Structures are given as C-alpha cells and as structure tokens.
Amino acid sequence: MKKLFSLLLVLAVALSSAGAMGEALPAPTLFTPGTYEAEAQGFGGMVQVSVTVAENEITDVAIKGDLETPALGGVAVETMGEAIVKAQTPNVDGVSGATVTSSAIIAAATQALEAAGADIAVLDEFRRDTEENTVREDKTLDTDIVIIGAGGAGMAAAIMVQQAGKDFVLLEKMPYVGGNTTKATGGMNAAETHYQKEQGIEDSVELFAADTMKGGHDLNDPALVQTLAEQSAGAIEWLDSIGADLPKISFSGGASTNRIHAPADGSAVGNYLVDKFSAKLKELGVEIMLNTKATELIMEDGKIAGVKAESQEANYTIRCKAVILATGGFGANLDMIASYRPDLQGTVTTNAPGATGDGIVMAQAVGAALVDIEQIQLHPTVEQTTSMLITESVRGDGAILVNQKGERFTNELLTRDAVSAAELAQEGQYAYIIFDQNLRNNLKAVEKYVTNGLTVQGDTIEELAGKLNIEPEVLAKTLADWNEAVAQQNDAQFGRTTGMNANLTMAPFYAIQIAPGIHHTMGGVKIDTSAEVISTEGNVIPGLFAAGEVTGGVHGGNRLGGNAVADIVIFGRIAADSAVAYCGK
C-alpha cells in the first residue's frame, strides 16, 4: 500500500506540475519548510549535513566534514550536496574511494529530510537526474602533450610542463586528483640530501642504489635504480621550491640508514604532496579534466598522434605530439591481479579505486613491452576491516610486532615481503603492532588510526594484553625485553638495528591488529632512463612516455618503503622534461 501511495503521489505531483486534467491540481506537500540538521560518523570524524527545503523542493544542502581526508572524503563533502539538490533525493552516487564519507553524508541527509517530513521512497521515485537520455557530444582538441592521470607522477609532470611553457591537457578519470599517492603514508627516500647533511646523517647515492637492488632481489633495472638514486636529492630540492618540504627523516624497511623524508609533523606524505601539488597547479592556472577517462592511444606513422577519452558529456579526440602515461598500477583491479597471481585471490587491497591498470592496457595495445608484471607487493601492516594501511613510520619510529601469543616473531624493519611472509606464518595469519603514547605524540599519522577506532588502548601493558586476549605476563616480558634491547642498542633476538631511537614505556599503550594486503604492483610498462616507453621489439615508441606505478623495472621483486614517492616525483619530472624536449624537435 505504501508503494502504491508513493506512486500515486508522484503521479499527482507530475500532473499538477504539467497542468494536466484541465484544471491544475494542488501539488502535495513533500516537506515542512525549514532547515534541518543531522550528522553521521565519517572517515575522520563526524560529518554534519544541513538541508533546507521548501514545500516541494530541496533548495540547499550544506555539508561540513573538516576532519575528512581532503583528496578523498573532502571531495564527497564538496560535491555531494550539489548532487542531492540536483537529484532531489539523498540517495545519490557516492565518491569512489570515499565510501565511508559518502555513506555518512547520505545517512545524515536522509535523517534531516525525514525530520522535514519526507518519504524518501517518494523522492527516489521522482529523482530528477536520470541519465538514460544523455547524449555525448563529439569534441576534438589540439595540444602539445596529454598527461593521463592526475596522481603524484601526473601532477609533478604537469607542474614541470606548465613551467616549461608547453600547451597540455591533464586527464583524470576519477572525480578527484591524487590516485594512489593519497595512499602513501611514510615518506620519500632520497640520498645525500641537504636535510640529511643538516641532521648529521651519512648516506650516499651508491648505498641508496645498493639497498634498492637488494630489496628488489636484483630483479630491478640497474640503470633505472641508478637514476632514481642520483636524482633523489635534486627532487627533494625541487619539492622545497614548490613549498612541499620533507624535513623529518627516519628509517624504513630495507634501508641501511635514515633516508625516508616526511613532512615536519609526521603526517602522511601522500595527502601532503597531493595538497601541495594541487595548490601549485592552481597557482599556475592549470585546469584538470576530472571524470574524463582516456580509452585509447592514437598512433600515426609509427608515433603518438593523440588520445581518445570520454566523460559524461563528451567523447574526445585529443590531437597531440606526446603522451605521458601516469595512470598508476593495477592494485585495485582484483581480476587483473588474479590473472598474474592466482595465489592473491581474495586478498584485501590498500589501493585507490582508480588503480585498475588502464594505462598498461592502452600501452600494450600500441606495442609497449611489459616488465616484472607478476611482481605484486604485499604490505605487512594493513587493518583488514577497513583496508587502511598503517604507515611504515610507526615501526620506523619504534613500534614492534607481536603474534597472538604476545611474542615478537621477526625483525619488524626487514623488507615488506619478508615481514609479510613472517606474519602469514603466525597463528591466524595476523599480528598486532604495539606502540606507546610517546610514539603517538611524535607521529601525526597515528591520530587517524585512533579517530577511526582501529586502536586498542590500555593504561598498562597488562591491561592492553587483556583486551587482546594475550597472556599479560607474556606481553609484559616482550616489552621489557624490547626496551632492554633499545637501551643496549642490541636486538639479540632478531637483529634489528634500525628504528631503535625510543623505547616503549610511556602509557597509555596501543595495539592495532594487522595482516598483509595488496599494496603495490612493481611491474608495468617498460621505460628507459628518459622515461621513454619501450616496445616489444626493444625500440622507443616515439612520443610515448611513462612515470610512476604504471611502469616496471624500478622496484624489481619488492619495493622498499619510500621508493614509490621517489619514483613518482623523479620519473614524473623526467617524463615531463623528455616530452617537452620531444615536442621541440
């Protein structure tokens, strides 16, 4: 009966609006006019929604979510109010990658509208934003360079191309920028930087390269690794020049010394860089074509001649001289993952939803070679219910891992593949990362884990153990042994030598249950040291360049924490320089 009533009410509204049946019928009242407010739990905190309605119309939706991640949840906060007004229902599409925030906005808007007397079923039946009859317009654009993907590598390249004075188009298939860079939490590896010298840290290009080759099981392309190491200090200085300084230095797994550079307050490096890159692009007047997906590379006479792309409004043919692929990897394409690694079927992923391998597929279609495509990295510290990555900096700043017995079982700062394998060998194939208030005080990234309810807290080690169903005396002994190892700077049990600058003695104490998750696809399109894409025949594909996770060869069989950010910044800049030079020929 309610369904029938809803349909009849919709019909009455439609008829009255159209002046049907001779004399216009009075429109039924959908809302009690006024402004109504409600809130719901978002990703970073409470999201507040204020809805203003007239008798038969939603006239305004204001959303406040200051604690949401700017590059993801912040996009939902900025865009979903307009979508609700347009559709005249709270049940609109959420923002991909911001599921928790989107759901909170929908829930709060629903609650506010119900307080205004609305029947949400009626609103859904009469929603105004149907797209069945949308016809895309065919458009042709002309430019010098097309950059596909507005993640870290694409934005770094765009800044360089704009500063070089070349005309270009920047495409991004998602409704927001950042890509997988928004998932980066630790920092950027770099050697012989001015920050290291100022802090008395000894490092070298040769040691950085050696660590990267060893970490990658010597499957890496040595020339690409050498380029990464040699240009890392210059990349740090370039970041300084655009206001994206990374002065905080700590250890990361597989490094021989303090090398991973992070924001001064220890916040997650990915969102920090995305914010800085976005601000610089805005300052430079760069427009980004969001919600526009590249679908095909156009080749003519054996070289790049353009890109085909599509948005909700248009089908684009973009004529150009050069293309920079910065589309990221395929860590969010679980079918593609399984096709190369069946053993990873069903594993959670930390990847942004746009990391689906589009660029790899497009490059293959024009003859690009792939390298190390089956090399897919697990990150050892992923909270499984949310797929949230717990930054390597937590361990780098002194945290330890324990199993369900409350015992350490590995050197926590071995390479990611080694630590992941050690976790999977434990009972239940999970572990707990243990840290204290001192670490929390000095690492801003931890606040996100606390806010989102991922941490278990105890005023004493014994209380924490009880909450984890671990024998209190076992966990207490594990912490005591670790603190003694820190005091003596000698981890006799597992040989850990890094991330031992502070003990774990300041209450309260914290734990997060973690297990491995898909984090990075090391393989991809083959490039040379100029970021030129190489064909299956071993030749350069003229006009085609690539940078970041879409490429293979830099990381080999295992990526060191901190090398992905180095990769996107360094090779994003190289790709830009190479594309600009190519267009000048």
The Cβ-side half-sphere exposure at 135, using a 13 Å CA radius, reads 2
Catalytic residue among 259, 395, 416, 440: 416
- Cα of first residue to Cα of last residue in the chain, in angstroms, is 72
Residue 143 corresponds to which amino acid? T
Structure tokens at 16: 């009255």
Q: Which residues of 352-362 are buried (b: 16+ CB within 10 A; e: fewer)?
A: bbbbbbbbbbb
- Cα gap 187→260, rounded to integer Å: 5
Phi/psi of residue 341, each to 5°? -135, 80
Q: Which residues of 204-217 are buried (b: 16+ CB within 10 A; e: fewer)?
A: ebebbbebbbbbbe
Cα angle for residues 51, 101, 99 (degrees, 5° grid): 125
Structure tokens at 527: 């490039």
Q: Are strands 388-389 and 314-319 parallel, antiparallel or unpaired?
A: unpaired
Q: What is the largest CA-CA distance in the chain?
A: 93
- Catalytic residue list contains 136: no
Are 576 and 164 contacting, i.e. CB atoms less than 8 angstroms apart?
Answer: yes
CA-to-CA dists, residue 351 to 154, 199, 357, 377, 452, angstroms: 17, 33, 12, 11, 18
Catalytic residue numbers read: 416
